Chain A
Amino acid sequence: MIKVEGLTISIKKKAQTYALLRDVNFSLEQGQTLSLVGESGSGKSLITYAVLGMLNHLEGLEGVVGLPGQKNVLRLSSKELRRFRREQIGYIPQNPRECLTPTLKVGSQLTEVIAVKTDRSVRAGRLIARDLLQSLGFPDPEKVLKMYPHQLSGGMCQRVAIAMAVVSRPALVVADEPTSSLDLLIKQEIIKVIKSVQTEQGFALILVTHDLDLAFNCSNKIAVVYGGRLVETGTAHNLSNKPRHPYTRSLVRCSSRTGADKSIHYIPGEPVSIYTRFKGCRYFNRCLSRLEICETREPAWVNLGDGQVACWHYGRDEST
């Protein structure tokens, strides 16, 4: 089980401290998928960087990120981190073409990763690479191994990147907008590939996306991020049918799924900058159902059984 508790990142700038992330909590079972959704700049990617142990050098890093066999990823030494990255995690990038070396053949890059991650010889690595590519839907893996990245299409590059991420049978895979640069048909195919590998290997998947339809369709849990805080978490079913937080409601309305509906929705105003200091709820300025208390006090994280929400509309009068 993956557990994130009280994850906070703060930076110092001109003798002031700014919180980039504040008190992020979520948990995820093996074999399940969590989607992080929110507007650009809300801190979705930052959460995943912290979970992957890429921010361990920062001073203002607090909280616990627990993975199977790891008490706290945030406190690993650099030697332990290397081992952790090699064995326990996989990362699927947004732009696969940029993560492959353009001057090396796909085969040598992939084999190298496999050899390092599984502690085997290059020759054995090549065999694994071939089988892996075949299972990811390449009919002729030998041919692909001899090609350069520029000879592959975007979808093929993405599948190679997926192969690199899952080869060590990691406990956790993070996919950061894996489909945003692909077109519709290929997008569907990539999601299918990721899902089928997940069912086979049973890793937990954190999916970062701003495509709500995608999040609703292929995840068990969803966490909505706004201004560096989680504002709501819940099951995909609950969030799409009865979103609780006003921000989630607006987001869901923005991406209304019915094609017949011709009206266009958006959330007025701009997202908060992390450099604005604010005592109350960070969504206050754009919220359509704000209360007086929202301006002065930050809402607490309320557990509602089938989900959590940080909003003054909940929790206060829950007893009645």
Chain B
Amino acid sequence: MNKAPLLSISNLSFHYPGARGNRNTLERIELEIFEGDRIGMLGESGSGKTTLSLILAGLERPSTGLFLFNGKRLLGRKAYRDYRKKIQYLFQDPMEAVNRYRKVFEIVSEPLTYRKTKKEAIVSIVSELLKTVGIDPLRWHDYPDQLSLGQIQRVCLARAMTTNPKILICDEPFSALDVSNCGKMKEILLQLNANHGVTLFIISHEPKSLFKLCQKILVLHKGKIIELIDTTRGQHAQHEYSRKLLEINTT
């Protein structure tokens, strides 16, 4: 089982330009992501969750440190552009992430039209994905306003999957949803992970859902990874801070 990691990050630090005293938002991050992994990230607001996810998405570049994709270092604009094609991002607020003046089917097929996919191929890919995420064919020509929030979130998920990404980064995918929609979303994510082999990177501040979904959970505190919990081995939190986070949830 000695696979090479899909993505490996070592000694990565990051500071935003103009940060006071070049204070690092992220410090000495070490991370390896293998293909098909389900990784969760836990941390309170301001801990650097979003910054790390932006770096993974190729939208920010690390200040120092090594960032390898498929064993190759990403250098220059072209490398980043190619890298970004293999990553998709699912946003926190689904309503903000879609164009309200487009129909569901158009929203999902948009990434494909930019990639000059043939029309018949688009129809088959999009139909299949919309079925996978459980959107009734009757609703395919509705506008986002006519759908519930949970349904729009699933439409966004279908859109993210059209380009067959290697990694799907989900930024707080459950925080806008109610319990039932949450469960549905989790099941679909697991299904996509199993059938399409997409690597999931899920950011959340809700430990409960992460424990159900993920194999590994990173705990981020003040820009540092303080703990990596392996849930498959039934490992429990060791660090005091992560224990505190988990305790709140159970009481």
Asked if A271 meets B148 with Cβ closer than 8 Å, knowing A180-B175, A259-B249, the reply is yes
Mark out the residues of chain B between 174 and 226 whose CB falls within 8 Å of any chain A CB in the assembled complex. 175, 177-184, 186-187, 190, 205-208, 211-212
Asked if A186 meets B45 with Cβ closer than 8 Å, knowing A254-B180, A259-B207, the reply is yes
Q: Does A78 contact B (CB under 8 A)?
A: no
User: Binding site of B, secondary structure by majority: helix, strand, loop or mixed?
Assistant: helix
Query: Interface readout for A162-205 with B: 1 if CB under 8 Å, 0 if not?
Result: 00000000000000000011111110100000000000000000
B184 x A266 contact (CB < 8 A): yes
Query: Interface readout for A243-254 with B: 1 if CB under 8 Å, 0 if not?
Result: 000000011001
Asked if A184 meets B245 with Cβ closer than 8 Å, knowing A39-B181, A266-B184, the reply is yes
Interface centre among B45, B206, B245 (most CB of A within 10 A): B45
Q: Does A64 contact B (CB under 8 A)?
A: no
CB neighbours (8 Å) of B208 from chain A are 257, 259
Residue of B nearest to A185 (CB): B44
> How distant is A282 from chain B, measured CB to nearest CB, in Å?
15
User: Binding site of A, secondary structure by majority: helix, strand, loop or mixed?
Assistant: loop
A40 x B181 contact (CB < 8 A): yes
Residue from B148, B151, B179, B248 in contact with A254 in the complex, judged by beta carbons closer than 8 Å: B179
A251 x B180 contact (CB < 8 A): yes
Q: Does B124 contact A (CB under 8 A)?
A: no
Residue from B44, B177, B211 in contact with A184 in the complex, judged by beta carbons closer than 8 Å: B44
B183 x A254 contact (CB < 8 A): yes
CB neighbours (8 Å) of A270 from chain B are 148, 151
Q: Does A141 contact B (CB under 8 A)?
A: no
A39 x B180 contact (CB < 8 A): yes
Query: Interface readout for A47-64 with B: 1 if CB under 8 Å, 0 if not?
Result: 000000000000000000
Instruction: State which size class the interface on A falls in.
Output: 20 to 34
Q: How far is the CA of A38 from the CA of B151 in the complex (A)?
A: 17
Q: Does A89 contact B (CB under 8 A)?
A: no
A266 x B248 contact (CB < 8 A): no
> How distant is A185 from chain B, measured CB to nearest CB, in Å?
5
CB neighbours (8 Å) of A262 from chain B are 211-212
Mark out the residues of chain A between 246 and 279 whose CB falls within 8 Å of any chain B CB in the assembled complex. 250-251, 254-255, 257, 259, 261-267, 270-271
CB neighbours (8 Å) of B44 from chain A are 183-186
Q: Does B235 contact A (CB under 8 A)?
A: no
Interface centre among B180, B184, B211 (most CB of A within 10 A): B180
A251 x B179 contact (CB < 8 A): yes
A212 x B148 contact (CB < 8 A): no
Q: Does A93 contact B (CB under 8 A)?
A: no
Q: Does B250 contact A (CB under 8 A)?
A: yes
Q: Does A315 contact B (CB under 8 A)?
A: no
A250 x B180 contact (CB < 8 A): yes
CB neighbours (8 Å) of A185 from chain B are 44, 244-245, 248
CB-defined A-B contacts under 8 Å, sample of 13:
A154-B45, A183-B205, A184-B205, A184-B207, A184-B249, A254-B182, A255-B179, A257-B250, A259-B207, A259-B246, A266-B179, A266-B180, A266-B181
Instruction: Please provide the 9 A-B residue pairs with the shortest distance between their CB atoms, ordered closest to farther.
Output: A266-B183, A210-B178, A254-B179, A183-B205, A266-B184, A267-B180, A183-B44, A39-B178, A255-B179
Binding site for B on A (CB under 8 A): 38-41, 153-154, 180-186, 188, 210, 212-213, 217, 250-251, 254-255, 257, 259, 261-267, 270-271
Binding site for A on B (CB under 8 A): 44-46, 148-151, 175, 177-184, 186-187, 190, 205-208, 211-212, 244-246, 248-251
